Amino acid sequence: MSKSNATAIELENLTKRFDEVVAVDNFSVGIKRGEFFSLLGPSGCGKTTTLRVIAGLETPTEGRVLLENQDVTKIPAYKRNVNTVFQDYALFPHMNVKKNIYFPLKMKKVPLENAEPKIQRVLKLVNMEGFERRLPQQLSGGQRQRIALARSLVNEPAALLLDEPLGALDFKLRVAMQKVLKDIQRNVGITFVYVTHDQTEAMTMSDRIAVMKDGLVHQIGSPDEIYNDPATAFVASFIGDMNFLNGTVLFMSDREGKVEVSGNTIRTRKPKKVSGGGKEVLLCIRSERVLLNPHNSQLDNVIKSRLKRIVFRGTDYEATCIFDESEIRAVVGATVWDHSLREGDSVRVGFNSKDVVMFPIEEERDVIKYSVEAV
């Protein structure tokens, strides 16, 4: 399949400035047809601005937007074959469900009798058959979200743009709607571009994710790539639960590294951006990859430490351990937790070199940290 046939949306060197603020900085990506593509990052990172530029609600300062291989950079929103779903649903309160869904087709002068099969098809798709006569205020939050989706899908757009559409829902309903959204996207086979600050949403639903901070795209990749092979320390800190250790390089080769951390030598995987010995570096290790009092004698790294804090989290325990001035957390499943352990006990923590990612110490400034003392 050629690139033009495979790509639904293409952003070429997209930049958007608001006076002196660069909201989106030189963003280029090709989003495939039928792909669930997420824009993920903290508030103010530029993800919603990017979505609004795709929708035609903002004009880029530089760069181009291509929709199905057509340059739509200067084409107004109402002439673009994309629809947007917002967090507040934007349903018309005086119209019942059927009239809300029919509205986009009515604007295209499609007679109601011709639109009826399409309305019924999308109602079935979102599992809302039989609700045609209800008003929006007679629906739950999840039901309103489904109707907003149905209205956006009824005229079969080339892409659906979703701006934090689950943000107003409670936790359990949000989790349930994540599955609904992914199922709908698979069934209709159209491109979804999804904006969220919730890493779990993005990881659960996406085929690929663009992780953004301060207008810059730090990494684009599959959930697996972003989680297991973060491109920057910011991505490592923003996705999942990560330990950070400061150390000094003792040895470096094309295959591995050895780093001194609080008097211990830690073996790491192949370094990405660090070369030469004597340099200060930042080591990252996922908390679930750290073993507490490991039985495995083949681990690359085992460190003597003291158990500082134990937190029960339902399905697991989080054990915070300290050695010298360094701190590392291990997440242990509740079914295998050693209930004899007490805070203050001497313990060992272990992990393999392949689970240690190394970055230059300069990237520590981009790490998102939540201080326990500050809470």
- The whole-chain average pLDDT of the chain stands at 92
Reading the block at residue 183, the tokens are 């199922």
Structure confidence at residue 87 (pLDDT): 77
Question: Could you tell me what percent of the chain has a pLDDT over 70?
Answer: 97
Q: Label residue 5 by pLDDT band (50, 70, 90).
A: low
SS3 track for 229-252: CCCCHHHHHHCCCEEEEEEEEEEE
Between 11 and 189, whose confidence is greater?
Answer: 11
Contact 329, 320 (CB under 8 A): yes
Terminal-to-terminal C-alpha distance of the chain:
52
CA 170 to chain centre: 19
> Is the model's pLDDT at 2 over the cut of 90?
no
Q: Label residue 53 by pLDDT band (50, 70, 90).
A: very high
Distance CA 186, CA 167 (A): 22
Mean pLDDT value across residues 172-190: 88
Which residues does residue 79 pair with via DSSP β-bridges, in sequence order? Answer: none
CATH code matching the domain that covers 3-233, chosen among 3.40.50.720, 3.90.1150.10, 3.40.50.300, 3.40.640.10: 3.40.50.300
Distance CA 328, CA 302 (A): 12
Q: Give pLDDT tens digits for 101-131.
A: 999 999 999 999 999 999 999 999 888 999 9
Distance CA 238, CA 245 (A): 16
Reading the block at residue 275, the tokens are 């070369």
Q: Label residue 166 by pLDDT band (50, 70, 90).
A: confident
Q: Which of 2, 21, 1, 54 is nearest to 210 (CA)?
A: 54
CA 139 to chain centre: 29
On the CB side of 192, how many CA atoms lie within 13 Å of its CA?
Answer: 29
Distance CA 334, CA 349 (A): 17
Q: Which of 283, 302, 306 is nearest to 294 (CA)?
A: 302
Question: Could you tell me what percent of the chain has a pLDDT over 90?
Answer: 78
Q: Label residue 142 by pLDDT band (50, 70, 90).
A: confident
Structure confidence at residue 372 (pLDDT): 47
